[in-house]
Copies of this chain bind each other. A is one copy, B any other.
Amino acid sequence: MNDSAIGIFDSGMGGLTVMRALAERLPGERFLYLGDTARLPYGSKSADTVKRYALQAAQALVARQVKLLVVACNTASVSLPALQEALGPLPAIGVIEPGARAALAVSPGGPIAVIATEGTVKGGAYVRAIEAHGQAPVVQQACPLFVAMAEEGLVDGPIVEAVAHRYLDPLMATLPRPRALVLGCTHFPVLRSVIGRVAGEDVALVDSAATTAQAVARLLAERGLARGAGPHEPHRFLATDAPDRFARVGEIFLGRAIDPGSVEPIDLQ
Protein backbone atom coordinates (compact mmCIF):
# COMPACT_ATOMS: atom_id res chain seq x y z
CA MET A 1 0.00 0.00 0.00
CA ASN A 2 2.78 2.44 0.95
CA ASP A 3 4.30 1.79 -2.46
CA SER A 4 1.14 2.96 -4.21
CA ALA A 5 1.11 6.30 -5.94
CA ILE A 6 -0.40 9.47 -4.54
CA GLY A 7 -3.23 10.55 -6.84
CA ILE A 8 -3.43 14.21 -7.82
CA PHE A 9 -6.37 15.64 -9.68
CA ASP A 10 -6.90 19.01 -11.36
CA SER A 11 -9.07 20.44 -14.12
CA GLY A 12 -5.95 20.85 -16.23
CA MET A 13 -2.29 21.60 -15.76
CA GLY A 14 -2.30 24.19 -12.97
CA GLY A 15 -2.32 21.43 -10.36
CA LEU A 16 1.18 20.55 -11.51
CA THR A 17 2.37 23.43 -9.31
CA VAL A 18 1.01 21.38 -6.41
CA MET A 19 2.69 18.21 -7.73
CA ARG A 20 5.93 20.18 -7.98
CA ALA A 21 5.71 21.25 -4.35
CA LEU A 22 4.76 17.68 -3.34
CA ALA A 23 7.64 16.10 -5.26
CA GLU A 24 10.09 18.51 -3.63
CA ARG A 25 8.69 17.90 -0.15
CA LEU A 26 8.28 14.12 -0.62
CA PRO A 27 11.00 12.89 -2.97
CA GLY A 28 10.38 9.24 -2.06
CA GLU A 29 6.78 9.30 -3.28
CA ARG A 30 5.43 8.40 -6.70
CA PHE A 31 2.60 10.47 -8.20
CA LEU A 32 -0.23 9.76 -10.61
CA TYR A 33 -1.62 13.05 -11.93
CA LEU A 34 -4.96 13.36 -13.71
CA GLY A 35 -5.75 16.55 -15.67
CA ASP A 36 -9.30 16.90 -17.01
CA THR A 37 -8.06 18.85 -20.03
CA ALA A 38 -11.13 17.96 -22.14
CA ARG A 39 -13.36 19.98 -19.84
CA LEU A 40 -11.10 22.64 -18.38
CA PRO A 41 -11.40 25.25 -17.05
CA TYR A 42 -13.59 24.51 -14.04
CA GLY A 43 -13.30 28.08 -12.74
CA SER A 44 -16.17 29.44 -14.83
CA LYS A 45 -18.48 26.44 -14.29
CA SER A 46 -21.25 25.82 -11.77
CA ALA A 47 -20.69 23.95 -8.51
CA ASP A 48 -22.92 21.03 -9.58
CA THR A 49 -21.05 20.49 -12.84
CA VAL A 50 -17.67 20.72 -11.10
CA LYS A 51 -18.78 18.22 -8.47
CA ARG A 52 -19.86 15.73 -11.14
CA TYR A 53 -16.56 16.07 -13.01
CA ALA A 54 -14.53 15.81 -9.81
CA LEU A 55 -16.29 12.60 -8.80
CA GLN A 56 -15.53 10.99 -12.17
CA ALA A 57 -11.87 11.98 -11.89
CA ALA A 58 -11.56 10.75 -8.30
CA GLN A 59 -13.12 7.41 -9.23
CA ALA A 60 -10.65 6.98 -12.09
CA LEU A 61 -7.74 7.50 -9.68
CA VAL A 62 -9.24 5.20 -7.06
CA ALA A 63 -9.57 2.51 -9.75
CA ARG A 64 -5.80 2.86 -10.24
CA GLN A 65 -5.16 2.11 -6.55
CA VAL A 66 -3.83 5.42 -5.31
CA LYS A 67 -3.20 5.57 -1.56
CA LEU A 68 -4.27 9.19 -1.09
CA LEU A 69 -6.08 11.73 -3.22
CA VAL A 70 -4.98 15.35 -3.57
CA VAL A 71 -7.57 17.63 -5.15
CA ALA A 72 -5.06 20.10 -6.59
CA CYS A 73 -7.72 22.48 -7.89
CA ASN A 74 -9.25 25.24 -5.84
CA THR A 75 -12.53 25.14 -7.73
CA ALA A 76 -12.91 21.38 -7.27
CA SER A 77 -11.79 21.49 -3.64
CA VAL A 78 -15.26 22.83 -2.90
CA SER A 79 -16.51 19.31 -3.70
CA LEU A 80 -14.22 17.69 -1.15
CA PRO A 81 -16.96 16.66 1.34
CA ALA A 82 -18.96 14.99 -1.46
CA LEU A 83 -15.81 13.32 -2.78
CA GLN A 84 -14.81 12.07 0.66
CA GLU A 85 -18.24 10.51 1.08
CA ALA A 86 -17.97 8.73 -2.27
CA LEU A 87 -14.39 7.59 -1.70
CA GLY A 88 -14.96 5.93 1.66
CA PRO A 89 -11.84 5.35 3.76
CA LEU A 90 -9.31 6.73 1.23
CA PRO A 91 -7.84 9.94 2.64
CA ALA A 92 -8.42 13.02 0.49
CA ILE A 93 -7.02 16.51 0.84
CA GLY A 94 -7.77 19.75 -0.97
CA VAL A 95 -5.87 23.00 -1.40
CA ILE A 96 -8.30 25.40 0.28
CA GLU A 97 -8.00 24.30 3.89
CA PRO A 98 -4.17 24.39 4.03
CA GLY A 99 -4.17 27.81 2.31
CA ALA A 100 -6.74 29.22 4.70
CA ARG A 101 -4.80 28.01 7.74
CA ALA A 102 -1.54 29.42 6.41
CA ALA A 103 -3.13 32.80 5.73
CA LEU A 104 -4.49 32.96 9.26
CA ALA A 105 -1.08 32.03 10.66
CA VAL A 106 0.48 34.98 8.77
CA SER A 107 -2.27 37.50 9.46
CA PRO A 108 -4.45 36.25 12.33
CA GLY A 109 -6.73 39.31 12.50
CA GLY A 110 -6.85 39.87 8.74
CA PRO A 111 -7.99 41.26 6.48
CA ILE A 112 -6.91 38.43 4.19
CA ALA A 113 -6.90 39.01 0.44
CA VAL A 114 -7.72 36.08 -1.86
CA ILE A 115 -7.23 35.93 -5.62
CA ALA A 116 -8.78 33.01 -7.47
CA THR A 117 -10.95 31.98 -10.40
CA GLU A 118 -14.49 33.28 -10.77
CA GLY A 119 -15.86 29.92 -9.56
CA THR A 120 -13.75 29.85 -6.41
CA VAL A 121 -14.58 33.47 -5.57
CA LYS A 122 -18.32 32.98 -6.09
CA GLY A 123 -18.30 29.68 -4.22
CA GLY A 124 -16.81 31.46 -1.21
CA ALA A 125 -14.77 28.44 -0.11
CA TYR A 126 -11.86 30.51 1.24
CA VAL A 127 -14.25 32.75 3.15
CA ARG A 128 -15.82 29.71 4.81
CA ALA A 129 -12.50 27.99 5.52
CA ILE A 130 -11.02 31.14 7.04
CA GLU A 131 -14.17 31.73 9.11
CA ALA A 132 -13.99 28.14 10.36
CA HIS A 133 -10.53 28.66 11.82
CA GLY A 134 -10.34 32.32 12.76
CA GLN A 135 -11.84 35.74 12.85
CA ALA A 136 -10.33 37.52 9.84
CA PRO A 137 -12.33 39.47 7.26
CA VAL A 138 -11.70 38.28 3.69
CA VAL A 139 -11.59 40.33 0.48
CA GLN A 140 -11.61 38.52 -2.86
CA GLN A 141 -10.85 39.19 -6.52
CA ALA A 142 -11.42 36.89 -9.50
CA CYS A 143 -8.41 36.97 -11.88
CA PRO A 144 -9.33 34.99 -15.02
CA LEU A 145 -6.66 36.62 -17.19
CA PHE A 146 -3.94 35.30 -14.87
CA VAL A 147 -5.02 31.78 -15.85
CA ALA A 148 -4.84 32.49 -19.59
CA MET A 149 -1.46 34.22 -19.25
CA ALA A 150 0.00 31.40 -17.19
CA GLU A 151 -1.14 28.81 -19.74
CA GLU A 152 0.54 30.82 -22.47
CA GLY A 153 3.79 30.95 -20.50
CA LEU A 154 3.42 34.72 -20.25
CA VAL A 155 4.60 35.05 -16.66
CA ASP A 156 6.56 38.30 -16.57
CA GLY A 157 6.90 41.64 -18.37
CA PRO A 158 4.76 44.74 -18.89
CA ILE A 159 1.51 42.97 -19.91
CA VAL A 160 1.49 40.75 -16.84
CA GLU A 161 2.40 43.75 -14.71
CA ALA A 162 -0.49 45.83 -16.13
CA VAL A 163 -2.99 43.02 -15.61
CA ALA A 164 -1.69 42.51 -12.06
CA HIS A 165 -2.24 46.20 -11.30
CA ARG A 166 -5.76 45.96 -12.72
CA TYR A 167 -6.65 43.13 -10.35
CA LEU A 168 -4.53 43.86 -7.30
CA ASP A 169 -4.58 47.65 -6.90
CA PRO A 170 -8.27 47.85 -5.88
CA LEU A 171 -7.92 44.72 -3.73
CA MET A 172 -4.85 45.92 -1.86
CA ALA A 173 -6.40 49.37 -1.34
CA THR A 174 -8.76 47.72 1.19
CA LEU A 175 -8.52 49.36 4.62
CA PRO A 176 -6.94 48.18 6.79
CA ARG A 177 -4.40 46.95 4.26
CA PRO A 178 -4.27 43.15 3.85
CA ARG A 179 -0.99 41.59 5.00
CA ALA A 180 -1.68 38.17 3.48
CA LEU A 181 -2.54 37.44 -0.14
CA VAL A 182 -3.69 33.89 -0.90
CA LEU A 183 -2.84 32.58 -4.37
CA GLY A 184 -6.15 30.77 -4.54
CA CYS A 185 -5.64 29.15 -7.95
CA THR A 186 -3.00 26.60 -8.80
CA HIS A 187 -2.01 28.57 -11.90
CA PHE A 188 -0.90 31.59 -9.93
CA PRO A 189 2.39 30.39 -8.38
CA VAL A 190 4.08 30.74 -11.80
CA LEU A 191 3.17 34.46 -11.69
CA ARG A 192 4.27 34.93 -8.11
CA SER A 193 7.19 37.28 -8.73
CA VAL A 194 4.98 39.83 -10.52
CA ILE A 195 2.10 39.33 -8.08
CA GLY A 196 4.44 39.84 -5.14
CA ARG A 197 5.99 42.98 -6.64
CA VAL A 198 2.63 44.56 -7.46
CA ALA A 199 0.99 43.59 -4.16
CA GLY A 200 3.88 45.08 -2.20
CA GLU A 201 6.79 43.88 -0.12
CA ASP A 202 4.83 44.07 3.12
CA VAL A 203 2.35 41.45 1.89
CA ALA A 204 2.95 37.73 2.51
CA LEU A 205 1.99 35.54 -0.44
CA VAL A 206 0.30 32.31 0.63
CA ASP A 207 0.99 29.67 -1.99
CA SER A 208 -1.45 26.84 -1.46
CA ALA A 209 0.82 24.44 -3.39
CA ALA A 210 3.44 24.69 -0.66
CA THR A 211 0.95 24.58 2.21
CA THR A 212 -0.83 21.58 0.68
CA ALA A 213 2.47 19.72 0.35
CA GLN A 214 3.03 20.22 4.09
CA ALA A 215 -0.47 18.99 4.87
CA VAL A 216 0.02 15.88 2.70
CA ALA A 217 3.35 15.11 4.37
CA ARG A 218 1.68 15.33 7.78
CA LEU A 219 -1.25 13.13 6.72
CA LEU A 220 1.05 10.44 5.27
CA ALA A 221 3.02 10.37 8.50
CA GLU A 222 -0.11 10.20 10.70
CA ARG A 223 -1.62 7.34 8.73
CA GLY A 224 1.65 5.45 8.34
CA LEU A 225 1.34 5.72 4.55
CA ALA A 226 4.69 7.33 3.74
CA ARG A 227 6.98 5.46 1.41
CA GLY A 228 10.60 5.03 2.49
CA ALA A 229 13.40 6.64 0.52
CA GLY A 230 14.84 4.92 -2.52
CA PRO A 231 14.18 4.84 -6.25
CA HIS A 232 10.61 4.54 -7.48
CA GLU A 233 8.80 4.14 -10.78
CA PRO A 234 8.52 7.37 -12.75
CA HIS A 235 5.56 9.64 -12.16
CA ARG A 236 2.66 9.13 -14.56
CA PHE A 237 0.08 11.47 -16.02
CA LEU A 238 -3.47 10.99 -17.31
CA ALA A 239 -5.15 13.61 -19.49
CA THR A 240 -8.72 13.62 -20.80
CA ASP A 241 -7.59 15.46 -23.94
CA ALA A 242 -4.54 16.40 -25.98
CA PRO A 243 -1.71 14.59 -24.13
CA ASP A 244 0.85 16.38 -26.35
CA ARG A 245 -0.38 19.81 -25.28
CA PHE A 246 -0.46 18.57 -21.68
CA ALA A 247 3.22 17.67 -21.86
CA ARG A 248 4.16 20.96 -23.52
CA VAL A 249 2.13 23.42 -21.42
CA GLY A 250 2.48 21.31 -18.29
CA GLU A 251 6.20 21.99 -18.25
CA ILE A 252 5.47 25.64 -17.31
CA PHE A 253 3.71 24.50 -14.16
CA LEU A 254 5.75 21.45 -13.18
CA GLY A 255 9.00 23.33 -13.70
CA ARG A 256 10.60 20.45 -15.59
CA ALA A 257 10.08 18.65 -18.91
CA ILE A 258 7.28 16.08 -19.15
CA ASP A 259 7.95 13.08 -21.38
CA PRO A 260 4.94 12.92 -23.76
CA GLY A 261 5.17 9.13 -23.47
CA SER A 262 4.34 9.38 -19.76
CA VAL A 263 0.99 11.06 -20.50
CA GLU A 264 -1.85 8.60 -21.13
CA PRO A 265 -5.21 9.64 -22.61
CA ILE A 266 -8.23 8.79 -20.48
CA ASP A 267 -11.98 9.13 -21.09
CA LEU A 268 -14.04 10.16 -18.06
CA GLN A 269 -17.46 10.25 -19.79
Query: When chains A and B are docked, how far (Å) is the Cα of A40 from the Cα of B42?
Result: 9
Residue interface mask A223-247, B partner, CB < 8 A = 1 = 0000000000000000001100100
Query: When chains A and B are docked, how far (Å) is the Cα of A66 from the Cα of B172?
Result: 50
Which residues on B sit within 8 Å (CB–CB) of A118?
245
Report if A89 contacts B (CB, 8 A).
Answer: no
Report if A257 contacts B (CB, 8 A).
Answer: no
Number of copies: 2
Interface residues on A, range: 20 to 34
- Give residues 96-154 of A contacting B (CB, 8 Å): 118, 144-145, 147-149, 151-152, 154
Report if A38 contacts B (CB, 8 A).
Answer: yes
Which residues on B sit within 8 Å (CB–CB) of A144?
148, 151-152
Which residues on B sit within 8 Å (CB–CB) of A159?
159, 162-163, 166
Query: When chains A and B are docked, how far (Å) is the Cα of A102 from the Cα of B261?
Result: 42
Binds B, one of A44-52, A191-199, A214-222: A44-52
Besides A145-B148, A145-B152, A159-B163, 12 other A-B contacts (C-beta < 8 A): A37-B44, A37-B45, A39-B39, A40-B44, A44-B151, A49-B242, A118-B245, A144-B151, A145-B145, A159-B162, A159-B166, A162-B162
